[in-house]
């Protein structure tokens, strides 16, 4: 139930902080790069205690064929990996084609999509009309937010080259029924245009959301608990 989902979010957030706190000093001494210009993802990493993360936005076109993947979650995960690889290649080019001292210890890629109840995959709206169409599709029903995350360890070798770990997290979001006036007013704020699905749970759209099941931060664009779990497991590979 929606209220139970909110309780789960709180518990997961506390647990993830416990996980990451044991490694914060070592992680902040490492060269970690976020392959995203999203201020929300940067802020979530800071909330975890990772205060020295460098932002280097990917130039990946985000044009993968959605039909080539087994669901929206897999598409988001593939896009996140493509973003992280793109930033890795930037550092390799900066180093003259070699993996040198300037290459990070960790590169983090992420991508968020919203899946409507009819299975449509929504990314960022390109204009007002698309934003309004997205909100109409989400109104009075449950949808899913999928965030794919990629973690690259450029200085750690794997059979296929650079070590890579990818995963995705899904949160269910229940919207109230929205009137056309409410949709128009929200779109007029300008808030929808840099957010998957055309809304931000941390902004004024919170008034539309009856409840969630899963990680609140995942809806913001970065799954705090799942990332903390995955990165904590990888720490021994790149922190000596």
Tokens representing 56 are 């280097």
Question: In the chain, which ranges are continuous DSSP H helix?
Answer: 2-21, 24-28, 39-47, 72-94, 128-138, 180-188, 216-220, 224-238
Q: Cβ contacts of residue 231 below 8 Å, gap of 6+?
A: 20, 23, 27, 106, 151
CA-wise closest residue to 145 among 217, 202, 207: 217
Q: Are strands 54-55 and 141-158 parallel, antiparallel or unpaired?
A: unpaired
Which listed residue (86, 105, 111, 215) is catalytic?
111
Q: Do 27 and 50 form a contact (C-beta atoms < 8 A)?
A: yes
Question: Is 94 a residue of the active site?
Answer: no
Tokens of 177: 């029924």
Taking alpha carbons only, the member of 58, 101, 66, 100 closest to residue 82 is: 58
Task: Specify whether the CB–CB gap between 89 and 35 falls below 8 A.
Answer: no
Retrieve residue 239's tokens: 């922190």
What is the maximum span of the chain, computed from C-alpha positions, in angstroms?
A: 57
Beta strands (DSSP E) in 79-202 are: 106-115, 121-122, 141-158, 161-175
Residues catalogued as catalytic: 111
């Amino acid at each position: 139930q929606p209220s139970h989902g909110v309780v789960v979010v709180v518990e997961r957030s506390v647990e993830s902080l416990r996980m990451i706190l044991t490694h914060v000093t070592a992680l902040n001494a490492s060269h970690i790069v976020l392959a995203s210009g999203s201020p929300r993802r940067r802020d979530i990493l800071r909330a975890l205690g990772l205060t020295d993360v460098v932002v280097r936005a990917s130039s990946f076109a985000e044009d993968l064929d959605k039909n080539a993947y087994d669901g929206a979650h897999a598409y988001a995960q593939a896009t996140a990996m493509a973003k992280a690889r793109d930033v890795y290649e930037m550092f390799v080019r900066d180093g003259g084609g070699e993996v040198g001292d300037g290459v990070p210890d960790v590169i983090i890629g992420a991508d968020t999509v919203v899946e409507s109840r009819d299975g449509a995959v929504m990314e960022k709206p390109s204009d007002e009309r698309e934003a309004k169409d997205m909100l109409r599709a989400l109104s009075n029903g449950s949808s899913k937010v999928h965030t794919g995350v990629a973690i690259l360890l450029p200085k750690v070798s794997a059979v296929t080259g650079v070590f890579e770990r990818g995963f995705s997290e899904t949160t269910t979001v229940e919207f109230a029924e929205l009137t056309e006036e409410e949709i128009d007013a929200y779109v007029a704020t300008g808030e929808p245009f840099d957010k998957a699905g055309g809304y931000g749970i941390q902004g004024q759209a919170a008034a539309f959301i009856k409840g969630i099941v899963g990680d609140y931060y995942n809806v913001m664009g970065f799954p705090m608990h799942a990332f903390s779990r995955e990165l904590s497991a990888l720490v021994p590979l790149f922190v000596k």
